[in-house]
Protein backbone atom coordinates (compact mmCIF):
# COMPACT_ATOMS: atom_id res chain seq x y z
CA UNK A 1 0.00 0.00 0.00
CA UNK A 2 1.40 3.41 -1.03
CA UNK A 3 1.82 5.85 1.84
CA UNK A 4 -0.45 8.91 1.40
CA UNK A 5 1.13 12.30 0.82
CA UNK A 6 -0.95 13.76 3.68
CA UNK A 7 -2.43 11.93 6.64
CA UNK A 8 -4.61 14.03 8.94
CA UNK A 9 -6.01 12.75 12.23
CA UNK A 10 -8.29 14.50 14.72
CA UNK A 11 -7.45 17.93 13.32
CA UNK A 12 -8.87 20.88 15.22
CA UNK A 13 -8.06 24.55 14.63
CA UNK A 14 -9.29 27.38 16.85
CA UNK A 15 -8.82 31.05 15.96
CA UNK A 16 -9.42 34.27 17.92
CA UNK A 17 -12.89 35.76 17.48
CA UNK A 18 -11.98 39.42 17.02
CA UNK A 19 -15.67 40.45 17.05
CA UNK A 20 -15.78 39.51 20.75
CA UNK A 21 -12.38 40.84 21.80
CA UNK A 22 -12.53 42.73 25.13
CA UNK A 23 -10.79 46.08 25.58
CA UNK A 24 -8.19 44.35 27.75
CA UNK A 25 -7.01 40.81 27.22
CA UNK A 26 -7.22 38.28 24.45
CA UNK A 27 -10.14 37.52 22.17
CA UNK A 28 -11.94 34.25 22.91
CA UNK A 29 -11.17 31.33 20.61
CA UNK A 30 -13.72 29.89 18.21
CA UNK A 31 -13.24 26.38 16.88
CA UNK A 32 -13.19 26.45 13.07
CA UNK A 33 -12.21 22.84 12.35
CA UNK A 34 -13.61 20.19 14.66
CA UNK A 35 -11.80 16.89 14.39
CA UNK A 36 -11.02 16.01 10.76
CA UNK A 37 -9.63 12.65 9.62
CA UNK A 38 -8.55 12.06 6.01
CA UNK A 39 -5.73 10.97 3.73
CA UNK A 40 -4.64 12.64 0.48
CA UNK A 41 -3.16 10.10 -1.97
CA UNK A 42 -0.04 11.01 -3.94
CA UNK A 43 -0.76 12.31 -7.42
CA UNK A 44 -4.40 13.05 -6.67
CA UNK A 45 -6.47 16.19 -7.21
CA UNK A 46 -8.82 16.85 -4.31
CA UNK A 47 -11.51 19.52 -4.05
CA UNK A 48 -12.89 20.87 -0.79
CA UNK A 49 -16.47 22.10 -1.05
CA UNK A 50 -18.38 24.08 1.56
CA UNK A 51 -20.25 27.25 2.37
CA UNK A 52 -18.45 30.53 2.90
CA UNK A 53 -16.96 30.52 6.40
CA UNK A 54 -17.06 26.74 6.75
CA UNK A 55 -13.28 26.46 7.17
CA UNK A 56 -11.98 25.57 3.69
CA UNK A 57 -9.19 28.15 3.70
CA UNK A 58 -8.40 27.42 7.35
CA UNK A 59 -7.92 23.75 6.49
CA UNK A 60 -5.66 24.58 3.55
CA UNK A 61 -3.54 26.95 5.60
CA UNK A 62 -3.23 24.37 8.37
CA UNK A 63 -2.03 21.77 5.86
CA UNK A 64 0.81 24.01 4.66
CA UNK A 65 1.41 25.12 8.27
CA UNK A 66 0.55 28.77 7.83
CA UNK A 67 -1.72 28.01 10.80
CA UNK A 68 -0.82 25.70 13.66
CA UNK A 69 -3.40 23.09 14.67
CA UNK A 70 -4.87 23.25 18.17
CA UNK A 71 -5.34 19.48 18.40
CA UNK A 72 -4.58 16.50 16.17
CA UNK A 73 -1.78 15.63 13.77
CA UNK A 74 -0.69 16.37 10.21
CA UNK A 75 1.76 13.98 8.58
CA UNK A 76 3.29 15.09 5.28
CA UNK A 77 5.35 12.71 3.17
CA UNK A 78 5.84 10.43 6.16
CA UNK A 79 6.88 13.20 8.59
CA UNK A 80 4.81 14.70 11.40
CA UNK A 81 4.76 18.46 10.72
CA UNK A 82 2.00 19.36 13.20
CA UNK A 83 4.10 21.46 15.55
CA UNK A 84 7.45 21.71 13.77
CA UNK A 85 9.26 24.99 14.51
CA UNK A 86 9.81 27.30 11.53
CA UNK A 87 13.52 26.46 11.33
CA UNK A 88 12.65 22.80 10.67
CA UNK A 89 9.70 23.66 8.43
CA UNK A 90 11.72 25.91 6.14
CA UNK A 91 13.45 23.09 4.20
CA UNK A 92 10.04 21.43 3.68
CA UNK A 93 8.29 24.54 2.35
CA UNK A 94 9.59 24.10 -1.19
CA UNK A 95 7.37 21.01 -1.34
CA UNK A 96 4.34 22.81 0.16
CA UNK A 97 3.36 25.59 -2.21
CA UNK A 98 0.25 27.77 -2.28
CA UNK A 99 -1.56 29.66 -5.04
CA UNK A 100 -3.41 32.49 -3.34
CA UNK A 101 -6.94 33.64 -4.07
CA UNK A 102 -6.07 37.28 -4.81
CA UNK A 103 -2.92 37.77 -6.95
CA UNK A 104 -3.17 41.54 -6.51
CA UNK A 105 -2.28 41.15 -2.83
CA UNK A 106 0.09 38.18 -3.18
CA UNK A 107 2.29 39.59 -5.98
CA UNK A 108 4.75 42.33 -5.02
CA UNK A 109 3.88 45.48 -7.04
CA UNK A 110 7.51 46.70 -6.92
CA UNK A 111 9.01 43.56 -8.45
CA UNK A 112 9.06 42.41 -12.05
CA UNK A 113 7.35 39.12 -12.88
CA UNK A 114 10.78 37.52 -13.37
CA UNK A 115 11.85 38.66 -9.90
CA UNK A 116 8.63 37.33 -8.33
CA UNK A 117 9.08 33.88 -9.85
CA UNK A 118 12.83 33.84 -9.12
CA UNK A 119 12.49 34.76 -5.43
CA UNK A 120 11.50 31.30 -4.10
CA UNK A 121 14.14 29.68 -6.33
CA UNK A 122 16.85 31.85 -4.76
CA UNK A 123 15.54 31.24 -1.25
CA UNK A 124 15.71 27.49 -1.78
CA UNK A 125 19.22 27.37 -3.21
CA UNK A 126 18.10 26.95 -6.83
CA UNK A 127 19.61 30.18 -8.14
CA UNK A 128 21.52 28.59 -11.03
CA UNK A 129 20.24 29.41 -14.54
CA UNK A 130 17.55 31.65 -13.11
CA UNK A 131 16.65 33.25 -16.44
CA UNK A 132 16.05 29.83 -18.03
CA UNK A 133 14.05 28.61 -15.02
CA UNK A 134 11.83 31.70 -15.09
CA UNK A 135 11.32 31.34 -18.86
CA UNK A 136 10.32 27.69 -18.38
CA UNK A 137 7.88 28.59 -15.59
CA UNK A 138 6.22 31.25 -17.78
CA UNK A 139 6.01 28.85 -20.71
CA UNK A 140 4.31 26.18 -18.57
CA UNK A 141 1.47 28.54 -17.71
CA UNK A 142 1.10 29.93 -21.23
CA UNK A 143 2.69 33.35 -20.77
CA UNK A 144 5.22 34.80 -23.27
CA UNK A 145 8.81 35.45 -22.23
CA UNK A 146 8.24 39.20 -22.75
CA UNK A 147 6.12 39.20 -19.57
CA UNK A 148 9.25 38.61 -17.48
CA UNK A 149 10.01 42.34 -17.37
CA UNK A 150 6.46 43.49 -16.68
CA UNK A 151 4.91 44.44 -13.34
CA UNK A 152 1.75 43.25 -11.62
CA UNK A 153 -0.37 46.24 -12.67
CA UNK A 154 0.45 45.65 -16.35
CA UNK A 155 -1.28 42.24 -16.36
CA UNK A 156 -4.92 41.19 -16.48
CA UNK A 157 -6.50 39.22 -13.63
CA UNK A 158 -6.07 35.92 -15.44
CA UNK A 159 -2.46 36.69 -16.33
CA UNK A 160 -1.68 37.60 -12.72
CA UNK A 161 -3.16 34.32 -11.57
CA UNK A 162 -0.98 32.47 -14.09
CA UNK A 163 2.05 34.17 -12.55
CA UNK A 164 0.94 32.93 -9.12
CA UNK A 165 0.67 29.41 -10.54
CA UNK A 166 4.10 29.71 -12.20
CA UNK A 167 5.67 30.86 -8.94
CA UNK A 168 4.18 27.91 -7.03
CA UNK A 169 5.25 25.35 -9.64
CA UNK A 170 8.77 26.71 -10.19
CA UNK A 171 10.02 24.68 -7.21
CA UNK A 172 8.46 21.42 -8.49
CA UNK A 173 6.59 20.92 -5.19
CA UNK A 174 4.99 17.67 -4.05
CA UNK A 175 1.83 19.53 -2.96
CA UNK A 176 0.10 22.63 -4.33
CA UNK A 177 -2.78 24.29 -2.50
CA UNK A 178 -5.06 26.41 -4.70
CA UNK A 179 -7.27 28.60 -2.50
CA UNK A 180 -10.34 29.61 -4.58
CA UNK A 181 -8.02 30.92 -7.26
CA UNK A 182 -10.70 31.57 -9.90
CA UNK A 183 -13.30 33.25 -7.70
CA UNK A 184 -12.36 36.79 -8.76
CA UNK A 185 -12.12 36.09 -12.50
CA UNK A 186 -14.70 36.29 -15.28
CA UNK A 187 -16.25 33.05 -16.52
CA UNK A 188 -14.14 32.65 -19.67
CA UNK A 189 -10.91 33.30 -17.74
CA UNK A 190 -12.01 30.86 -15.04
CA UNK A 191 -12.38 28.17 -17.70
CA UNK A 192 -8.89 28.92 -19.06
CA UNK A 193 -7.27 28.70 -15.61
CA UNK A 194 -9.08 25.46 -14.72
CA UNK A 195 -8.08 23.91 -18.06
CA UNK A 196 -4.48 24.95 -17.38
CA UNK A 197 -4.57 23.38 -13.91
CA UNK A 198 -5.95 20.13 -15.32
CA UNK A 199 -3.10 20.04 -17.86
CA UNK A 200 -0.45 20.77 -15.22
CA UNK A 201 -1.91 18.18 -12.83
CA UNK A 202 -1.75 15.56 -15.59
CA UNK A 203 1.91 16.43 -16.15
pLDDT in tens, 134-187: 999 999 888 999 999 999 999 988 899 899 999 998 888 999 999 888 887 888
Contact between residue 120 and residue 169 where contact means Cβ atoms under 8 Å apart: no
Q: Is the dihedral angle over the CA atoms 4, 89, 14, 54 positive or is it negative?
A: negative
Q: How confident is the model at residue 126 (pLDDT cuts 50, 70, 90)?
A: confident
User: Which pLDDT value is given to residue 197?
Assistant: 85
Domains and CATH numbers, the chain: 1-84 (3.40.50.300), 86-203 (3.40.50.300)
Please give the helix or strand (H or E) that residue 129 lies within, else none.
Answer: none
Full-model pTM: 0.84
CA pair distance 95, 103, nearest whole angstrom = 20
User: Which pLDDT value is given to residue 27?
Assistant: 87
Q: Is the pLDDT of residue 72 over 80?
A: yes
- Under DSSP, the state recorded for 75 is E
Q: Is the pLDDT of residue 47 over 80?
A: yes
Opening angle at CA 194, ends 116 and 203, nearest 5: 75
Q: Is the pLDDT of residue 79 over 80?
A: yes
Residues 40-44: contacts with CB under 8 Å, at least 24 apart:
40/4, 40/5, 40/6, 40/175, 41/2, 41/4, 41/5, 42/2, 42/3, 42/4, 42/5, 42/174, 44/5
Mean pLDDT of all residues in the chain?
90
User: Which pLDDT value is given to residue 1?
Assistant: 66
Burial 148-168 (b: 16+ CB within 10 A, else e): bebebeebebbbbbbbbbbbb
| 108-122 average pLDDT score | 93
Amino acid sequence: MVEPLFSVRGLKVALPDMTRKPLIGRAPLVEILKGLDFDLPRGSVTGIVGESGSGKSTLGRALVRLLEPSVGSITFDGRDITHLPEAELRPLRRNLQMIFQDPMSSLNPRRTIASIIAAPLKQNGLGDNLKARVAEALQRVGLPQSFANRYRHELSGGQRQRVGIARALALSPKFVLADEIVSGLDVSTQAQILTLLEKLAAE
